[in-house]
Amino acid sequence: QVQLVEFGGGLVQAGGSLRLSCKPSGRTFSSSAMGWFRQTSGKEREFVAAINWSGGRTKYADSVKGRFTISRDNAQNTVYLQMNSLKPEDTAVYYCAAKTGTIFSSSYYTQGYEYDYWGQGTQVTVSS
């Protein structure tokens, strides 16, 4: 069974940093475009960041641009989301997602429906 598992969530003070990791099991996603999304209770899931299969192209939501960095290590089959200068409004459950069949493509994806696999999510709480 294919799974994506997120690690690294937790409680941090405003202005602090966290690094989320996403590691799949059951298959490799080194040839897949990947993304991070987040959701708070009662709100729609929103796009945070995306990266193409090679790591050469990235895209960020305006709300996190300049503070968050998405990266990947295909040798380790892991995708990261480095979150700096965290704000209380960044509090959410963060999900990683994978879109298969994108090897050699420069494309990244910002819409949730475009992804094939999702993790269970990890809670990030930023206190003021």
Find out whether 5 and 120 touch, Cβ atoms under 8 Å.
yes
- Give residue 99's pLDDT: 94
| Backbone φ and ψ of 28, nearest 5° | -95, 145
- Give residue 117's pLDDT: 94
Lowest mean pLDDT among 14-23, 80-89, 102-111: 102-111
Percent over 90 (pLDDT), the chain: 85
Percent over 70 (pLDDT), the chain: 99
- Give residue 101's pLDDT: 83
Residue pLDDT, tens place only, 4-62: 999 999 999 999 999 999 998 888 888 899 999 999 999 999 999 999 999 999 999 99
Could you give the dihedral angle defined by the CA atoms of residues 52, 30, 39 and 110, in that order, rounded to the nearest 10 degrees?
20
Give me the mean pLDDT over the 56-79 stretch.
96
Is 1 a residue whose pLDDT tops 80?
Answer: no
